Amino acid sequence: MKLLINEWRKYLRNVRSAIIIPLILLVVLVIYFSTMHFVLAATAPSHLAESYSMVFLFGITICYNFVNFITIIYASNILSSEISRGTIKFILTRPYQRYKILLAKIGAITLLMPTFMIISVIISLLLQLLTIHHMPELGGVIKYTGIYSLYILVITIFFTAFALMLSSLTSSPAFVTGCCIVYYFCASGLWATINQLYFHLPTDGWLYKLCPLNVNDYLIDLMKEAAKNPVQNEFYITLLANIVYACIFFLIAVLVFRRRDITLAN
């Protein structure tokens, strides 16, 4: 628990993280909802009731994409920056096992990002009320907030474990950040290309869908379907596969980190 609290203190003491990043999101949301106020004012009244929910949905989609990107940046630097600066050695002087240090880092960011997403949704509701003066349907708010928060949770665990694995192998935060960003945006396309050139697996088969390069994008496709239709067993299987990969990444990170000589860090 002390390790977890220490990780949260690092985020709160970082001015850029605690003030500037939420402020950027707030400015973006204010611009968006203010713009939609003028757009809806020119819309026929018969379409306004449906438009309120669409405005809110696009607003929390902005929050979701923003939090996703911040998650990747945080996860990429959560260990690699401490190793490169040498500050990790101060933690290692305390009587903590190394796997607990890594586990505390995953736990801190895993609890932080879904909370950030929920707070962003609340701010979006307030801004919509202040600018458009109408609220979306409560059922839609709860449903989409739950779906987005769940995926934020899953992707946070996955990419934090992936970043910890890379950080245990290298002391370069830039390299870890670059790998995570490329993985997030290009992994599924890379897998489709590799499969087309070499493996020729059917795209509707489990081997193709649950490949580590494709599992995140496939999961988000299933979550989009879950927003409109009942949840299918395929969703839970893909969610479980995503968690299994995260556990494998974390296990590799622990095995490497336990044997790494941190004194060699610059």
Write the pLDDT tens digit of every residue in 190-210.
Answer: 999 999 888 888 988 888 989
Q: How far is CA 51 from the centre of its chain?
A: 28
Taking 70 as the pLDDT cut, the residues of the chain under it are: 1-18, 40-50, 226-231, 260-266
- State the pLDDT at residue 223: 75
Question: Which tens digit of pLDDT belongs to each residue from 33-81?
Answer: 888 877 766 665 555 556 777 788 888 888 888 888 888 888 888 777 7
CA atoms within 13 A on the CB side of 108: 22
Identify whether the C-beta of residue 78 lies closer than 8 Å to the C-beta of residue 37.
no
- State the pLDDT at residue 251: 93
| Alpha-helical runs (H) found in 14-137 | 15, 21-41, 48-77, 80-85, 88-92, 98-131
Torsion over CA: 11, 13, 14, 20 (sign): positive
- State the pLDDT at residue 17: 64
| Average pLDDT score, the chain | 80
pTM: 0.83
Distances, alpha carbon 21 to alpha carbons 24, 71, 105, 111, in Å: 5, 12, 20, 17
- State the pLDDT at residue 80: 76
- State the pLDDT at residue 72: 84
E-state strands within the chain = none
Identify whether the C-beta of residue 241 lies closer than 8 Å to the C-beta of residue 212.
no
Domain residue spans of the chain? 2-264
- State the pLDDT at residue 231: 65
> Which pair of tokens denotes residue 28?
């973006």
- State the pLDDT at residue 52: 74
DSSP letter at 262 equals G
DSSP letter at 78 equals T
Residues 259, 98: Cα–Cα separation, whole Å: 10
Residues 199, 208: Cα–Cα separation, whole Å: 10
Residues 6 or more apart in contact with residue 212 via CB below 8 angstroms: 187, 245
